[in-house]
A and B are shown apart, each in its own frame.
Chain A
């Protein structure tokens, strides 16, 4: 291990960690809604992001559309993509044991991953936009502009989803259906439709993530494997369905990755991230922010 790194390295690591954390928070908002709030299991969430990334990639690379304008396409597309997948696969077995849902969505993830492999090959794809070179210097620390935009996007998206859940009738219907589906039905809420809406929205946020990430990230058929696991880690850390917690959880994991990478050699930092996750699951399953329930 290498402990004699300079202050500059550390401050850069922290800055990058915050940027990465914003990214992790952004991709995890959807899962917070789907799994955290609605308790729907979707192990293909990472592959949904992969779909969003590819869509954004093609719009930018082939359609020559500005990445931030692709949002107009990626978000609605992912909304209906999510609804389609939900209707065809998850919804019929929503009442089956949890394990069946896990297996089914793992199957979906295998399908999406390998379809992408067949159609787009295993090559790493990325786009070159004028944004890529925009950097902001704060003392010795360098921050890339697209990453900063993604961080802002993550904050805004978190607030938007929070506002939606808190203040609109549809948002409250989603929370009510999750907390007590029977009572929700008895209050005149069409619960199956509410599930569909929640899943669609959770998927749509990944369209947004795809568009915001593509200027500085890459895409590849297996890009969702690691990022999908990160989403689950962030949601658990954030405390299942807590949107603010999700943001904090994203930052924690982002910092763990970059600071870890400065300390541990090679990709061992990943092990550090996983360890944080397992320790949290065992000792503080209610997440970073929530108080322990008695």
Chain B
């Protein structure tokens, strides 16, 4: 459904992504894990049009997303849940959701989407009239997911949904992700929280300094000792540090 081919993203001299290819099949959860600065967020932003790649293509079915502006990509059904939530802090929960469904295609499905979102997150229904910034971190993350769902996505790009949340809330969030997949949504999930992410991923990639170092089913990647190495630097530590 989504296919990223040989993508390169440079920030000045720095190659944030260096010839990376990934594929996301319809109805799958595909995970991307890796340490801070490995290029995970860059990957998401390259897909959603927030960063323009130097080379490579991002194909969503038959459309080339690299040629589209960011807001047009959303309207086409590729929707990002950004890192750190990025809510509209001074708007109510309800208004945040309305903004999510402001474009034409989503507007037509607005009331069904509201039903769907409030069944998934009954707590948001209770908090409907509260201003977003007064809610807890977990609730804010739910708004971010709900807001993205309101724009009738066909594929959801989730950037570190567990960031800064308490363990119990993280569990909840991942349960929602799995639920969404079961409802038929395709999800590209970027995470630092390796265990949770890999447990629910159908397929996964491990990124290190802008390159894919490992890929496979979620289970395989989780069991692979290299995954841990990419995170804690244990394997590398055995080498002498001098160059």
Which A positions have Cβ atoms within 8 angstroms of B?
Answer: 169, 172-173, 175-176, 179-180, 182-191
Chain B residues in 8 Å Cβ range of A182: 50, 82, 86
* B74 beta carbon closer than 8 Å to chain A: yes
Q: A169-B102, A175-B95 provided; 12 other pairs, C-beta below 8 A?
A: A169-B98, A179-B88, A180-B86, A183-B86, A186-B79, A186-B86, A187-B100, A187-B103, A187-B147, A188-B75, A188-B79, A189-B103
Given contacts A186-B79, A188-B102, contact A175 B88 (CB under 8 A): yes
User: A182–B87 Cα gap in the complex (Å)?
Assistant: 10
Closest 3 CB pairs of A and B: A188-B74, A183-B86, A188-B103
Chain B residues in 8 Å Cβ range of A180: 86-89
Among A183, A186, A187, A191, the residue within 8 A (CB) of B102 is A187
Interface size class of B (residues with CB under 8 A): 20 to 34
Please, what's the 1-or-0 string for B71-115, where 1 marks a CB less than 8 Å from any CB in chain A?
Answer: 100110001101000111111000100111011001100000000
A175 touches B151 (CB 8 A): no
Given contacts A169-B102, A172-B99, contact A190 B71 (CB under 8 A): yes
Given contacts A169-B102, A172-B98, A172-B99, contact A186 B48 (CB under 8 A): yes
Among A169, A175, A185, A187, the residue within 8 A (CB) of B107 is A169
User: A28–B102 Cα gap in the complex (Å)?
Assistant: 29
Given contacts A180-B89, A186-B48, contact A173 B70 (CB under 8 A): no
Interface centre among A173, A176, A184, A187 (most CB of B within 10 A): A187
Please, what's the 1-or-0 string for B118-151, where 1 marks a CB less than 8 Å from any CB in chain A?
Answer: 0000000000000000000000000000011001
B151 touches A183 (CB 8 A): no
CB distance from B143 to the nearest CB of A (A): 11
Residue of A nearest to B157 (CB): A186
CB distance from A75 to the nearest CB of B (A): 25
CB distance from A183 to the nearest CB of B (A): 4
User: A176–B150 Cα gap in the complex (Å)?
Assistant: 15
Given contacts A180-B89, A186-B86, A187-B102, contact A172 B71 (CB under 8 A): no
User: A4–B70 Cα gap in the complex (Å)?
Assistant: 66
Interface centre among B82, B147, B148 (most CB of A within 10 A): B82
A186 touches B91 (CB 8 A): no
Chain B residues in 8 Å Cβ range of A184: 88, 99
CB distance from A31 to the nearest CB of B (A): 19
CB distance from B60 to the nearest CB of A (A): 15
* CB-defined A-B contacts under 8 Å, sample of 5: A169-B98, A176-B91, A183-B87, A184-B88, A189-B103
A185 touches B102 (CB 8 A): no
A186 touches B74 (CB 8 A): yes
A175 touches B74 (CB 8 A): no
Residues 148-198 of B contacting A (Cβ, < 8 Å): 148, 151
